Amino acid sequence: MTPELRVESLRDPALRPIAAKVVARTRLGADDARTLYATHDILGLGAIAAFANARLNGDRVFFSANQHINPTNVCVLRTTCTFCSFAKMPKEEGAYTRSLEEVYHEAAQAVGSPTREFHIVGGLHPKLRLSYYTDMIRGLKARHPQIHIKALTAVEIAHIARVEKCSERDVLVALKDAGLTSMPGGGAEVFSTAVRATIAERKLTGEEWLRVHREAHSLSIPTNCTMLYGHIETADDRIEHLTALRSLQDETGGFLTYIPLAYHPDNNELGEELGRVGSATTAFEDLKNVAIGRLFLDNIPHVKTHWPMVTPFVSQVALAFGCDDVEGTVVFERIYHQAGATTEMHMPYLGLVKLIRDAGKRPVERDSLYQPVRESFEDVEAMAASPISGAAAPAVHAA
Ligand code: V47
């Protein structure tokens, strides 16, 4: 069914020419994005983004059965990434680095569960070598051959290249040979040099982050992209960031999904400095960033909402604001929970199906590459309801 958008009925008249552009498939410019960031007509903005999304994805909403694994929280950027609550110095209380056996032990939870993806990210450990990661990926693939590995942000790739004194391309080739399927979108934060100087002084620059993703795309490693919003960045910083993502996508087509990440201010220096402890972003901001991401990034097929960060409640509403992809089962989330997120760590498989259906959408379980793997859930529901299997996670790999 062709989606409908009643341009003349938008409450904020400034949105009408932008809506007309979207209907005509005309690319939005920086001025349009400024208008979108300035509007208070959140429902009008959401309607335009929902229209754009429906044209791309119909009423389908994707989710994955995934498990997050964070092999280490030791990070050489501990003192300079002031927004991060996850990183630790090597000898700081709470610092950890998992042995490969410990990683395999954590990953063993996937046995008998529907997990199809391991999402692996961690700190920039000063001593861990490339072989730690390639051995880990090989070991995980040997134990769980059907599970895709989405691992290591651009920042980690660049760090490993520095440790090994080799090129980022060499690192990517080695990881791909070991079994890497795709890369997550973390570490992008906001590309603005001025913002980075305050919140992530020694981190990879925006250009370097883009360079690693360009290299990954050239090796046919698809990646995700993100933007961390809700700290000190301005609307112009966000627009500059989105423009850079859109340009790289024009060049390579390698981004799968865009994930706007809401800044969480607890247990980090930036949150203290800003006097923001205990007050994360508002739902209004979260929904606005989803909708603008959908409209501005006209060449990225999916926009994902990260429920551990914005809550399942806001994620569900985001499905009416242009979002077509919901973060998966997760199992154990550390990065946002360290920073004050109060959501659950895990979302049951059928909980995701219900969240999507209750928003009037059609759930589609996908793999890491957005290939649909399951669109009908009756047998899974029947199995979960049976007195024998009870609430146990269904083994659906054979689907
Ligand atoms: O790069 C760190 C962010 C990212 C905080 O690709 C924080 O599918 C908010 O990138 N408040 C890592 N954000 C997580 C990430 C991600 C998450 C889910 C899915 C995917 C994907 C990627 O988390 C970091 C940083 O931008 N982060 N600290 C904080 N206090």
Q: Write down the pLDDT at residue 345.
A: 80
Atom of ligand 1 lying closest to residue 155 CA? 1
Report the atom number in ligand 1 closest to the C-alpha of 184: 6
Q: Whose CA is nearest to atom 16 of ligand 1?
A: 186
How far from each other are the two terminal CA atoms of the chain, in whole angstroms? Answer: 28
Ligand 1 within 6 A of 85 CB? yes
pLDDT in tens, the chain (399 residues): 678 899 999 999 999 999 999 999 999 999 999 999 999 999 999 999 999 999 999 999 999 999 999 999 999 999 999 999 999 999 999 999 999 999 999 999 888 889 999 999 999 999 999 999 999 999 999 999 999 999 999 999 999 999 999 999 999 999 999 999 999 999 999 999 999 999 999 999 999 999 999 999 999 999 999 999 999 999 999 999 999 999 999 999 999 999 999 999 999 999 999 999 999 999 999 999 999 999 999 999 999 999 999 999 999 999 999 999 999 999 888 887 888 888 888 899 999 999 999 999 999 999 999 999 999 999 888 888 877 654 444 444 333
Question: Does 81 sit in the ligand 1 pocket, CB within 6 Å?
Answer: no
The amino acid that residue 276 corresponds to is R
Q: What is the 326 CA–ligand 1 centroid distance (Å)?
A: 15
Residue 136 confidence (pLDDT): 98
Minimal-distance CA residue to ligand 1 atom 18: 306
Any ligand 1 atom below 6 A from CB of 228: yes
Ligand 1 binding pocket includes 87 (Cβ within 6 Å)? no
Residue 22 CA to ligand 1 centre (angstroms): 29
CA–centroid distance, 322 to ligand 1, in Å, is: 20
> What number does the ligand 1 atom closest to the CA of 84 have?
28
User: Residue 337: what pLDDT?
Assistant: 87
DSSP helix/strand/coil, 280? coil
Which H or E element spans position 62?
Answer: strand 60-63
Q: How far is the centre of ligand 1, averaged over its atoms, from the C-alpha of 309 (Å)?
A: 9
pTM here? 0.95
Residue 94: Cβ within 10 Å count:
9
Q: In testing the pocket of ligand 1, which one of 84, 195, 347 has its CB within 8 Å of the most ligand atoms?
A: 84
Which conformational region is residue 370 in: left (phi greater than 0), alpha (psi within -120 to 50 degrees), or beta?
A: left
Query: HSE-up of 21 (CA within 13 Å, CB side)?
Result: 17
Distance 328 CA to ligand 1 centre (A): 14
**Ligand 1 pocket member 186 (CB < 6 A):** yes
Nearest atom within ligand 1 for CA of residue 339: 30
Distance 237 CA to ligand 1 centre (A): 18
Cβ-based neighbour number of residue 163 at 10 Å: 16
| Cα 207 to Cα 158: distance, rounded to the nearest angstrom | 12
Distance in angstroms (rounded) separating the CA atoms of residues 369 and 355? 22
List the residue whose alpha carbon is closest to atom 29 of ligand 1. 264
Cα separation, 297 vs 292, whole angstroms? 8
Q: Edge to edge, what strands does the sheet with 302-305 contain?
A: 223-229, 255-262, 302-305, 325-326, 60-63, 362-366, 372-374
**Quick one: pLDDT at residue 389?**
54
- SS (HEC) of 204-262: CCHHHHHHHHHHHHHCCCCEEEEEEECCCCCHHHHHHHHHHHHHHHHHHCCEEEEEEEE
Ligand 1 pocket check for 335: Cβ under 6 Å: yes
Token pair recorded at residue 370? 């957005």
